[in-house]
Amino acid sequence: MKIWFDMDGTIADLYGVNGWLDMLIAYDETPYAVAKPLVNLNTLAKLIHKAQRNGFEVCIVSALSKNSTPAYDEKVKTAKMRWLKKHLASVKFDEIRFVPYTFTKNDVNTGNDILFDDEERHLTAWTGTAVHASKIFSTLKAIA
């Protein structure tokens, strides 16, 4: 079974970056690079390690910018990878998928996977266990 984490609005505070929308419209990937964590990442890393020891695969599924070009997508992917390496360096993710903004995240679901996300459209469409980002720690503690 896989546990999938969204990034923006779930573990990274993209929407808290001053001027984030104007930057994304201008094809500036800075908000993805400088977003502050939304959760205690030390605690998250410990829970992820425990889940992996207990047989879960832990993965990222994160959307690219709504306004996009192939070149900008690459900049966004690089910024997001750097964010993960900076903030969750001890975590070896089993899979990382950066997907188009219009992507249906349920398409990565292998059956009864778990998704942590902040967007209702992804939670509603998920056919496994969909969990709002606000319940990451309580859910991980219960399953790991």
pLDDT score recorded for residue 110: 94
Average pLDDT, the chain: 97
User: How far is residue 87's CA from residue 102's CA, in Å, rounded to a whole number?
Assistant: 26
pLDDT digits (tens, 9 = 90+) for 48-77: 999 999 999 999 999 999 989 999 999 999
**79: CATH:** 3.40.50.1000
Number of domains the chain is built from:
1
Residue 141 has pLDDT above 90, yes or no: yes
pLDDT for position 67: 87
Strands 114-117, 95-99: pairing is unpaired
Q: Cβ(5)–Cβ(47) under 8 Å?
A: no
Query: What range does the domain containing 52 cover?
Result: 2-143
Token look-up 């994160």 returns: 62
Residue 1 contacts residue 109 (beta carbons within 8 Å): no
Alpha-carbon 124 to chain mean position: 17
Q: Is the dihedral of CA 98, 103, 106, 109 positive or negative?
A: negative
Mean pLDDT within 94-110: 96
Place 80 in a pLDDT band, splitting at 50, 70 and 90. Answer: very high
d(CA 64, CA 80): 9
